[in-house]
Amino acid sequence: MKNADIAMYRVKELGRNNYQFCTPEMALEVKERALLDYHLHQALHNNEFVLLYQPKISLHNEKIIGIEALMRWNRPSTGLLFPESFISLAESNGLIVPISEWLIRAVCIQIKEWKEKGLSIHNVAINISTRQFGITNFSTNIKNILKETGVDPQCLEFEITERVLMENSFNNFSILHELKNMGIKIIIDDFGTEYSSLSYLRHFSIDKIKIDKSFIDEITESNPESNIIKAIIVMAHSLNISVVAEGVETAIQATVLKRYGCDEVQGFLYNHPLPAEKIQTLLLP
């Protein structure tokens, strides 16, 4: 019965009206996912999440202008896991909510620590999952964390995807307004990959857009132009929105982005995501 159930779920994934036989691989996949789910439930309690920070560089003065918090899971049975192997599971089982709350608090505690050491730290970005907008009290929880840690909301940037603005938009818009009223900046992450509906830009004032890596990848030595990127930057600037480019890996990409007037860049050309101590040395005056 269990195997039949596994096969049925696979049929549903493939679009119904079909049949599948349960294979040993399928059964193993299900078993591994269940184990991952079980371990993920314990991870928060066991303090297994790790935070790394990747700098964002201003193209106007080549200085670090901000950092983005990126999560890793130090899972005892397998070692360090990247978000792609657990974020979607956490989103589907609801654990993303407590995990993100932990993360936001941890980032705020870190900011406070850096400030106490006299480091000037602005624009600390946190990735916010669509799922978090569905929970009641999201903005109140944020307010409480900020109050508890004494962090200035102006220090924070929330990176959201276009999905947040398209799905359940009435509720999400009002949460975004509350966050903005607190002073938190809003960035549209992975810009250009999802709905790319421009109508929300009219209804909601976005602070920055982050052009997705897939567009940046198109700039190469042999093809050092991208009309799409050029157009996105012109459009954003005319709406008073500043532009970040992610996944910048080569000097030619940086040169072209600078020529187009892009404001900030982030990528392996400058830094990989780094532990807090490394960031501290980079930020020292």
The number of residues making up the chain comes to 285
Q: Which stretch binds ligand C2E (CB under 6 A): 22-30, 141-149, 240-248, 250-258?
A: 240-248
Question: Under DSSP, is residue 47 helix (H, G, I), strand (E, B) or coil?
Answer: coil
CA distances from 113 to 34, 128, 145, 166 (A): 37, 22, 15, 37
Q: Is residue 82 a contact residue for ligand C2E (CB under 6 A)? A: yes
Burial code (b: 16+ CB inside 10 Å, e: under 16) for 107-144 equals: bbebbeebeeeeeebebbbbbbbbbbbeeeebbebbee
Q: Is residue 103 a contact residue for ligand C2E (CB under 6 A)? A: yes
Q: Is residue 268 a contact residue for ligand C2E (CB under 6 A)? A: yes
Pick from 189, 200, 229, 264 the residue near ligand C2E by CB under 6 A: 189
Q: What angle do CA 275, 276, 279 make, to 5 degrees?
A: 95
Burial of 79 (0-12, 13-18, 19+ CB in 10 A): exposed
Task: Count residues near ligand C2E (CB under 6 A).
Answer: 22
- What does the binding site for Ca ion look like in residue numbers (CB under 5 A)? 127, 159, 189-190
Q: For Ca ion, which is the closer residue by CB, 159 or 162?
A: 159
Burial of 169 (0-12, 13-18, 19+ CB in 10 A): middle
Binding-site partner at residue 273 among Ca ion, ligand C2E, none, CB < 5 to 8 Å by type: ligand C2E
Q: For ligand C2E, which is the closer residue by CB, 87 or 142?
A: 87
Q: How far is the CB of 82 from Ca ion (least distance, A)?
A: 13
Q: How far is the CB of 52 from ligand C2E (least distance, A)?
A: 7
Q: Is residue 127 a contact residue for ligand C2E (CB under 6 A)? A: yes
Interacting residues with ligand C2E (CB under 6 A)? 54, 69-71, 82-84, 87, 100, 103, 127, 129, 159, 189-190, 246-249, 267-268, 273
